[in-house]
Amino acid sequence: MRHYRHNLDPHTIKIETDNCLVIVKDKLQDKLGRNVTSVQIIPDKYVGSNKVIRIGGKENIRCVTLKKKNR
């Protein structure tokens, strides 16, 4: 079962699943002033739980606007 909830920050969304917590942060900027969206995946690790959860990729992904197309 999935639980979706929005944080008090309007640019942050938290998604809770059976295996992990996904945090999406939008409207960020890097030190060069480019727009950034961050996606972080945190696997559930409960003390005493017998679940083994592995991430099949990177835990933190950033999408950066490098340039805009001229139309």
Tens digits of residue pLDDT in 4-36: 656 577 888 888 888 888 889 999 999 999 999
Instruction: Enumerate long-range contacts of 46-55, CB under 8 Å, 24 or more apart.
Output: 51/19, 53/19, 53/20, 55/20
pLDDT of residue 1: 40
Residue 37 has pLDDT above 90, yes or no: yes
The 8-class DSSP code of residue 47 comes to T
- pTM > 0.85: no
Task: For residue 7, give both structure tokens.
Answer: 């944080």
Torsion of CA 32, 33, 35, 37, to 10 degrees: 60
